[in-house]
Structure 1
């Protein structure tokens, strides 16, 4: 038994689950690992967030905030943050992703509408005590495109002009936009469908205070599954009907959509090249398709012009050619 396995066993036993079966749940994109803990008629989830690579304290903080606000984060059953171990309520196996993939259009619509209602409820609550989504953060994320995607394509681009274009676009956002808690990874693979009809939230440890449009983009311009443009438009209308129109929401939606999609394209290349995870570039064509739709919005003209000047059409991937070009 390795030292880490011994840590896990002692933690589980001390939490009152002596002798419980601990079995790994497959994961991919981080150093965190998850295990299902089973003892007779009860189950739990073990998060293994090994230091120094991971720190479970932000997760614990946001989970407790969400619970206090009446939203369904997994209950914390036990934790040893110093050793990076957390025992959580088990939400089961019904992810939104697989459920809507197998559903008819009416059921898919209803499931997304419920996720929109959850998001609107979060946006009506007091914000969490987490850092803000600052200009520096937006720029650092957007720069992942020029730092990772462009070199992978053999492109020598004007990164300084790229940053200036983003500054110009971000400067034009409405400062009256309300500040809300942004979970940052709110999509169909991080929403669980619970036996009581509710929806459980996962993977929110990177939450910041930012723009209401961001998590809507994360849900409706999903990098991992196709969301029909008609469903996307209907869900934007649903969200807009639930909250008062404080600002030009659709403008913010497309600006933050473009920013997020540029970031994701860079991250997916980084996951492949740095971390040896070759499945991620295969999802980039979907992300490119939504990025191209966002860039059509007039508010994104400076960024769209930069793309036109720096990234030739044949190196943009809505048609799904990227996998072959990278010789995966």
Structure 2
């Protein structure tokens, strides 16, 4: 028996769940894993297992950009490094707003273990593929975002496992994400080569967009808000009908971030008509928003996110031998190319035209 398994057994025993039947769930691109626990009564819960030592340190709020780069990717990008206390604190904030985050049944933050409520398997992506109508689900997801965005955004989140800082998705983090593109695409596509001048120009063309992203960072962003992280909860309506998971990397960000993550999804097609409907619903719920200014930021940050995701997928394929992610890349290229037609993105589009051959990205 591994040390990790012994820790899990001790934790489950202390939570009164030693006899629960354990069934591992499929993994994702993270170092976190889940098991479904079935008790003697037939009730189910989820075991979340995230060893703190599996990742580099999360960002200390006091660190400079140079210190963040020295401490590794989680510090640069202001990721939580999977810390259980982050999940617990974000869940508490979401629940305080009437949104649906899992109840925390038991937690051992130092060892990276928690037992949480099981929201089931009705992921938006799954129920849509089984025939559920898309638009009511996406409207509800937008309603949940509108609730989150209308609420005050604290600097410190408090949960049963301790406090957690809600850091800003700032220029360092945004540019670090964009830089994954120039770092990893050449490792996947050897014909691509970006010299120092090209990389310097890359950072210069994104600078206005990352500056606007930091300046507009006014709300909590889930940060990975898409149809495989949202669960339909029967018996609830509106914003509360959306079960939220995988939100431990929440940051203070521009309110467009979660919207473009939802509506320009890497893993499934969302029609332009549904994207427009969802955006119309968001602006109807938040009439105080300057739509034109918002949509300019939406296009720029969506394009940056798509470049970031293309870099991540290239890394997953080239470094981690996970070829399945290649299937998602054409969709991301399509989203990126569409956004690069927006006003204000001419410099980024010009960089792409000069440095990325048409047969790679068109």
TM-score (norm 2): 0.83
Asked if 2 retains the 8 angstrom alpha-carbon contact of 1:79 and 1:86, the reply is yes
Runs of 4+ more than 2 Å apart: 101-104, 168-175, 244-247
User: Out of 113, 128, 136, which is 2:139 matched to?
Assistant: 113
Instruction: Look up the match of 1:221.
Output: 264
- Offset at residue 291 of structure 1 (A): 0.6
For structure 2, the residue ranges without an aligned partner over 5 or more in a row are 55-81, 157-165
Asked if 2 retains the 8 angstrom alpha-carbon contact of 1:169 and 1:303, the reply is no
SS in 2 for 1:37: strand
- Offset at residue 178 of structure 1 (A): 6.4
Rounded Cα–Cα distance in structure 2 between residues aligned with 1:84 and 1:278: 29
Change (3 A) 1:134 1:174: closer
Rounded Cα–Cα distance in structure 2 between residues aligned with 1:142 and 1:193: 32
2:221 paired with 1:182? yes
2:276 paired with 1:233? yes
Rounded Cα–Cα distance in structure 2 between residues aligned with 1:99 and 1:243: 28
Instruction: Look up the match of 1:131.
Output: 167
For structure 1, the residue ranges without an aligned partner over 5 or more in a row are 318-328
2:235 paired with 1:196? yes
State how 1:27-106 maps to structure 2 within 5 Å: 27-39=27-39, 40-53=41-54, 54-103=82-131
2:323 paired with 1:278? yes
Describe the superposition over 1:188-233 as per-residue Cα deviations: whole angstroms up to 9, x where unpaired: 0000111223111011111110100000000000000010111111
2:343 paired with 1:295? no
Change (3 A) 1:19 1:227: same
Rounded Cα–Cα distance in structure 2 between residues aligned with 1:186 and 1:169: 21
RMSD after superposition: 1.6
- Offset at residue 173 of structure 1 (A): 6.6
Rounded Cα–Cα distance in structure 1 between residues aligned with 2:333 and 2:360: 10
TM-score (norm 1): 0.92
User: Out of 191, 194, 207, which is 1:167 matched to?
Assistant: 207
